[in-house]
Every structure is written in structure tokens, then in C-alpha cells.
């Protein structure tokens, strides 16, 4: 049997994407991946309850306890390296990390973004703001992207994308929910499985799937 790949999921909020990963693991859909740690950027977030309910260790590494992004990133790196983590998943993680983490986990950090990158991404585009911008532009299709994380915000190689229809009567909240249901909760576990089963290769900033 192939070696187990330890996964850490970093969260800041409700954790529905974490739940999708937990559910995928329960039905054997994460391949060799095993969620072994959930790290929250602040205490009291509901994602930690989801981790506890699934019997997964949850830790809080609070951004406010550190003076700088550099100090926070170093502490996060030390925690994840110390736990022998193979893959880091940013699942609604709303805190900026720096290159110390990216250098320790080259092409081993993935992020789920609630739009079709390169649309509606980069600095300031997170959570509901992304859907507000999509509705303000009047796009007819939006969606979600899972990509590798590199030092440039939302610019790393794209692993999977899925398009979702925008409806005329959508609010940011209704669009967010449809994109989560139809795209994020599907492509995030799928990308994690592909990674953990050694099926992803990065060449020239592009991701290729190995069969
Ligand atoms: C998700 O929609 C995720 O794509 C988004 O935050 C939400 C977190 O929800 N992430 C970003 O905007 C990152 N730029 P969740 O806590 O229920 O998974």
C-alpha cells in the first residue's frame, strides 16, 4: 500500500470546505491522504468544532499573538514541519503567510479560491468580496479554483477549476453558496486526492495530471 500523506488544513471560519474534506476522507475519496491536523488563525471558529467532531486534532495559532507576518509564518512553518505534514490545505484561511512557509512546502500548499482565476482574485478578493465583485461586473459564469500557493497572491499553478452559473437574482450570499455546493466542495477534495496519490506534476507554472 502507498504511504499515508499527512494533511494539515488551515482555517479561519465556518469550515465548510474542511467538512467536504472530512466527508471525502470518510468515504475513502482522499486516496493516500489523511487529515491529521486542523490549524485555526483565531480561537472559537466553527471549523474547530468540525475537526473535533471528526476526531481530528485542532490547534489555534492566533495571528494576534504575533507581531508580524514573518513571525507568524515562521511559527506556522515550525508547527507543520514538526508534525511531519506533507500537504497544507488553505480552506478559507484569511491570514497572509510569507515565503518562509512557501519555501518549506514548495508546491505542497493548495488554496481554494471562490472564482475562476485570473478573474476576481489577488489582494482584497476573499470571502463575500469576491462574489460582490462578480455580481458588480455582471458576469454570467463564475466558479472556483484550486491552485498551488506561491509567493504571489492567487497566482500559483492551477490544479482544478469548475464553472458555476450566475443568476440574475443572485445576492453575494446566494452566489457564494452555489459556488461552494457546485464547485468548491467537489474540486477541493478531488485536488487533494490527486496530490496525495502523486498524480500532479508542475512544469513551467502549469499543472499536468499523470495517469
Ligand atoms: C470559501 O468560499 C473559500 O473559497 C473562501 O472563503 C470561504 C471559506 O468558507 N476563500 C477565500 O476567499 C480565499 N481567498 P469555509 O470556511 O466555509 O470553507
Which domains, ranges and CATH numbers included, belong to the chain?
A: 1-105 (3.40.50.170), 112-211 (3.40.50.170)
Nearest-CA residue for atom 6 of ligand 1? 92
pLDDT of 202: 97
pLDDT (tens digit per residue) in 184-199: 999 999 999 999 999 9
Ligand 1 centroid distance, CA of 189 (Å): 14
pLDDT of 1: 57
Does the beta carbon of 50 lie inside 6 Å of ligand 1? no
Cα–Cα distance between 98 and 149 in angstroms, integer?
Answer: 11
200 pLDDT above the threshold of 90:
yes
Cα–Cα distance between 151 and 97 in angstroms, integer?
Answer: 9
Q: Identify the CA nearest to 113 among candidates 175, 44, 33, 180.
A: 180
Are 148 and 110 in contact, with CB atoms under 8 Å apart? yes
211 pLDDT above the threshold of 90:
no
Can you say how many angstroms the Cα of residue 179 is from the centroid of all Cα atoms in its chain? 14
Are 21 and 35 in contact, with CB atoms under 8 Å apart? yes
Percent of the chain clearing pLDDT 70 (strictly above): 100
Out of 127, 152, 172, 182, mutate this one to test ligand 1's pocket (max ligand atoms within 8 Å of CB): namely 127
129: left (phi over 0), alpha (psi -120 to 50) or beta: alpha
Does the beta carbon of 90 lie inside 6 Å of ligand 1? no
Mean pLDDT of the chain: 97
Helix (H) or strand (E) holding 145: strand 141-148
2 pLDDT above the threshold of 90:
no
pLDDT (tens digit per residue) in 124-171: 999 999 999 999 999 999 999 999 999 999 999 999 999 999 999 999
pLDDT (tens digit per residue) in 50-84: 999 999 999 999 999 999 999 999 999 999 999 99
- 87-90 vs 5-11, strand pairing mode: parallel
C-alpha cell at 112: 481554494
The model's pTM = 0.97
Amino acid at each position: 500500500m502507498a504511504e499515508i500523506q499527512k494533511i494539515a488544513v488551515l482555517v479561519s471560519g465556518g469550515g465548510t470546505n474542511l467538512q467536504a474534506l472530512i466527508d471525502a476522507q470518510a468515504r475513502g475519496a482522499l486516496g493516500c491522504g489523511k487529515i491529521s491536523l486542523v490549524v485555526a488563525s483565531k480561537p472559537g471558529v466553527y471549523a474547530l468544532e468540525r475537526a473535533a467532531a471528526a476526531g481530528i486534532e485542532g490547534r489555534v495559532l492566533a495571528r494576534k499573538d504575533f507581531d508580524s507576518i514573518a513571525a507568524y509564518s515562521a511559527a506556522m512553518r515550525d508547527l507543520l514541519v514538526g508534525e511531519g505534514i506533507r500537504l497544507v490545505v488553505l480552506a478559507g484561511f484569511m491570514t497572509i503567510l510569507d515565503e518562509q512557509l512557501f519555501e518549506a512546502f514548495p508546491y505542497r500548499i493548495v488554496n481554494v479560491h471562490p472564482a475562476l482565476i485570473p478573474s476576481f482574485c489577488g489582494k482584497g478578493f476573499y470571502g463575500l468580496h469576491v462574489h460582490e465583485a462578480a455580481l458588480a461586473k455582471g458576469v454570467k459564469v463564475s466558479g472556483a479554483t484550486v491552485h498551488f500557493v506561491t509567493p504571489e497572491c492567487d497566482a500559483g499553478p492551477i490544479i482544478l477549476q469548475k464553472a458555476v452559473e450566475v443568476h440574475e437574482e443572485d445576492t453575494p450570499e446566494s452566489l457564494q453558496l452555489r459556488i461552494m455546493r457546485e464547485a468548491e466542495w467537489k474540486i477541493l477534495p478531488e485536488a487533494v486526492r490527486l496530490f496525495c496519490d502523486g498524480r500532479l506534476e508542475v512544469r513551467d507554472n502549469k499543472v499536468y495530471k499523470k495517469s
